[in-house]
Amino acid sequence: MTTSAASHKRYFFEKFGLSERLLERCLGEALSAGGDYADLYFESVSATSIGIDESLVKSASQGVSAGCGIRVVSGERTGYAYTDNLSAERLLHAARTAALIASGPAKQPVAGFTETQSPNLYPIPAADLDSDLSTKLDLVMRADRAARAYDARIKQVRASYSDELKRILIAASDGTYASDTQPLARLNVFVLANDGQQTTRGTAGGGGRVDISYFLAEKTPEHFANEAARTSILQLGAVAAPAGEMEVVLGPGWPGVLLHEAVGHGLEADFNRKKTSAFAGLIGRQVASSKVTVVDNGTMPSRRGSLNIDDEGSPTQETVLIENGILKGYLSDKLSARLMNMPHTGNGRRESYQQIPMPRMTNTYMLSGDDAPEDILRSVKRGLYAVNFGGGSVDITSGKFVFSASEAYLIEDGKITAPVRDATLIGNGPEALKYVSMVGNDLQLDEGVGTCGKDGQSVPVGVGMPTIKLDRMTVGGTGN
Amino acid sequence: MTQSLELTTDLQQLATDIVTKARKAGATDAEVVIREGDEFSTAVRLGEVETLKESGSRGVGLRVFVGQRVASTSSSDFTPEGIEHLISGALALARVTSEDPFAGLADTGEFGQLDHDLDLYHEDVYSLPTAERIDFARRCEAAAMSADTRIQNSDGGSFDAATGRKVFANSRGFVGEYRSSYCSVSTSPIAMSRNGEMQRDYWYSAARTLAKLDSPESVGAEAARRTLRRLDGRRVPTQRAPIVFAPEIARSLIGAIFDAANGDSIYRGASFFTGKLGEQVAAESINVIDDGTIVGGHGSSPFDGEGLPTRRKVIVENGVLKTYLLNTYTARKLNMQSTGNAVRGLAGNPGIGNGNLYLEAGSFSPEEILREIKTGFYVTELLGQGVNMVTGDYSRGASGLWIENGELTYPVQEVTVAGNLKEMFRNITAIGNDLVFRGSVTSPTLRIDGMTIAGE
């Protein structure tokens, strides 16, 4: 572990001419007008993406960026400045700009850094990250061929592979000193099917904090291509989704986006500190059926939402949000943990050095229950079975959330019947999970496609869920 | 400002140097974009400063062609080594991409830029001292919070400003640059009803100059009005009823018309407007225009993302689809001419984006539109992304106010509105006279019939 931490640091020191002495000077400058806390977040990202379209490799791009964000916290106030020029002069200037938030006598950072000890959730040999372009190219070409071979009605195929390597180094006035190298890779397939009468779409994708070998061994281009093609062909025969309140069964895996929207955001500590969340003040109260236990877990190996350390240099952890239906805790960063006098859960995240960190989810999922998925479906007289979703959204304050089904079926007399067209499901966060009457024994995590947006900042996340049944939920179709 | 003039020359020189170097390194054509930006933002909450942020950054993007192959690189590293890496990286990538007969820069005669001043840049957005910026945000929030005793909490008030500069050069001799400025004031109050239910809404004003920004007080008052009218919302039974989209919501439907006419979706057959040029795609009263040339417009620019002059296009005229929206690549795929709608970031191939996109105003006041409706739904907010541009299927979460006998009555929440865009565009039965250019996509109030509301 220590060797890898040392190598993350060495990267910044050698490439950008940083030194521990300079970090200390910047922190000292940041606290030159007082304040409770200051931190420096250095980031260097290199990203590659390659895309096939109409069986031609039409795009290939690479990008590099580097910068540093400097934050000064004084009570509830935050001053922030960033620079993409990592010279000592510019860093000190940014520190002085961030320092403007405070107005008092200078404070001293604690003497000496303590390096954060972190696990190695995504051990990837550095050499593998630079795997040659031809291997990446081969992935998208395989996806293109597989999708086209799936069915003659597949008329358009686009596939893309993108990966990035993000190196971060964090130093803070409380002595925090942490670094990490975070890989992230993703393969995506988009297809259009046409049967001469109508056109439908299908998408599939996945990845995680993995290298290219994951797509050669575990989840192959053919897997994603077949999945995208299957969905688009299925949609050719879809009927109008029903409209109104009914029983809804959600399949395992990505439908866990329900949890992300219905409860996850509402449990981020900043909203609760400000009492702007529909969940504010509900700790210890029943917010879901007793069958429901939901956790956020940033420590799962190789997953898209996982992190060795968060963007404030703290180790991530598993945090129980809801246990047997009772609201247990919030997701916090340093600021909210301190101001709320609550446990710090290591959920401080940011999109880039240009942004201020805030409490964010990592991998959020519901634990398995006892029910067999077949029994769950069998119990429904008339309802909707939704197995895949586009995405979702929530109004934190009112608690109203939506998520849009991209693959769903009617359930009639306990049997899955016709596939239905895209439809949005809507509910109220603090209420919706009270209607969970059955929880399957088949917890699955999503394949690694989630990107969560909050206040204009996007971060990669994971979700998961077993099959569940909600006794009532509103389905926004147009049919009867 | 001599200093900024010198800077200008430097960046244009850098851009053309990179083009020249890329050509020397083996590119048959090259295109460079350099962006510089500064921003500051000020947020207050409950009267106290919450965040102050101030910074700048820049980046460079290069796209090279080697014959009919294309690739791109981007970087924030402006050192000579960084630029060398940018160029060698792009050329290495271009070796793995495919020969595409449609790839390439626009033809030389197509490049150009508007010669009138678009009035996009005002230094005054940065002129306020920190204390006054804080005051702007504070006044906006205070106006909302003092509007009604049911507003005791807030997600804050903010004042933001940004300036940007874009330099663009290519190997066909085009060099251009423009600056733009932006400022905004906003607030998001939270109201609580007697039973403890909370609602939040939001209002803002955005402009290119402080002089055109609405007063913080008026923005705060409107935010309060929008928040208060949501309190004690109910659900309604599932039904079909006329829906009136408030202007700030109707704009998303005009955005959908643009997306449906986006050449990238058209040539793939990924849009329900494919093959519909010259056909009736919307009610006869519908005229949709995209115009990148409006002086001071939120969506104006002197040239597009490929160095072509922006222009005014009638997309839909009397309900008939008149043009697709195209960049050079999609125009070639469709055997047409670019409409000057290319947009590009630092990396990748250009996409397609709008200028100032709007639906022409109709003759009815919003009140007149409501008055015609016995039972219906006035939508003030949409939630989620449930729009399928391939099939036109449309299903989104909604909240707003219920219409009874021509009047707005109680608030409605936790319902969905659904239909199919193909039919929705045809079923626009009334257009308001309340078109205001608050952003780059705008619409007046719209009434659409035949949609399904799903609730209880």
Query: Which of B227, B252, B271 represents a domain boundary (last residue)?
Result: B227
Q: Are strands B175-192 and B198-200 parallel, antiparallel or unpaired?
A: antiparallel
Q: Where are the alpha helices (DSSP H) in A65-208?
A: 88-99, 126-129, 133-150
> Residue B5 — very low, low, confident or very high, per pLDDT cuts 50/70/90?
very low
φ, ψ at B407 (rounded to 5°): -125, 150
Query: Which of B227, B243, B276 represents a domain boundary (last residue)?
Result: B227
Answer yes or no: do A60 and B72 touch at CB < 8 A: yes
In the predicted model, is pLDDT for residue A58 greater than 60?
yes
| B357 and B429 in a common domain | yes
Average pLDDT of the residues of chain A: 94
For residues A206 and A433, the answer to whether their CB atoms sit within 8 Å is no
pLDDT in tens, A428-447: 999 999 999 999 999 999 99
Residue B1: partners with Cβ closer than 8 Å, 6 or more residues away: none
Report in angstroms the alpha-carbon separations of A443 from A250, A440, B394: 12, 7, 31
Q: Is A344 left (phi over 0), alpha (psi -120 to 50) or beta?
A: beta
Instruction: Return the DSSP state at A391.
Output: E
| CA–CA gap between residue A380 and residue A386 (Å, rounded) | 13
B448, HSE (Cβ side, Cα atoms, 13 Å): 25
> Residue B329 — very low, low, confident or very high, per pLDDT cuts 50/70/90?
very high
Residue B421: partners with Cβ closer than 8 Å, 6 or more residues away: B253, B256, B260, B272, B387, B389, B392, B393, B394
Q: Report yes or no on whether pTM surpasses 0.80.
A: yes
B93 inside 8 A of chain A by CB = yes
Mutation target among A394, A404, A431 for the B interface, most CBs of B within 10 A = A404
User: What is the signed CA dihedral for B439, B201, B215, A100, rounded to 10 degrees?
Assistant: -100
pLDDT in tens, A13-51: 999 999 999 999 999 999 999 999 999 999 999 999 999
| B286 and B214 in a common domain | no
CATH number, domain of B12, equals 3.30.2290.10
Query: Which of B208, B227, B246 represents a domain boundary (last residue)?
Result: B227
- Name the minimum distance, in Å, from the CA of A123 to any CA of chain B: 27
The pLDDT, as a whole number, for residue B6 is: 42
Domain limits of chain A? 2-236, 243-476
Answer yes or no: do B100 and A56 touch at CB < 8 A: yes
Q: Average pLDDT of B51-73?
A: 96
Interface of A with B in 281-310 (CB under 8 A): none
B216 inside 8 A of chain A by CB = no
Host domain of residue B143: 2-227
Specify the DSSP element, H or E, that contains A47: strand A37-53
pLDDT in tens, B387-425: 999 999 999 999 999 999 999 999 999 999 999 999 999
CB pairs under 8 A between A and B: 260
B396 inside 8 A of chain A by CB = yes
Q: Are strands A400-412 and A415-420 parallel, antiparallel or unpaired?
A: antiparallel
| CA–CA gap between residue B387 and residue B398 (Å, rounded) | 13
| B138 and B19 in a common domain | yes
**pLDDT above 70: percentage of residues in chain A:** 98
pLDDT in tens, A354-388: 999 999 999 999 999 999 999 999 999 999 999 99
Could you give the angle at the alpha carbon of B151 between the alpha carbons of B149 and B153, nearest 5°?
Answer: 135
| B71 and B125 in a common domain | yes
> What CATH topology corresponds to A2-236?
PmbA/TldD fold (3.30.2290)
The pLDDT, as a whole number, for residue A476 is: 96
| B211 and B147 in a common domain | yes
What's chain B's length in residues?
A: 456
Question: Structural domain tally of chain B?
Answer: 2
Kindly provide the b/e burial profile for residues A238-258, where b requires at least 16 CB atoms within 10 angstroms of the residue's own CB: bebbbbbbbbbbbbbbbbbbb
In the predicted model, is pLDDT for residue A222 greater than 60?
yes
| B277 and B178 in a common domain | no
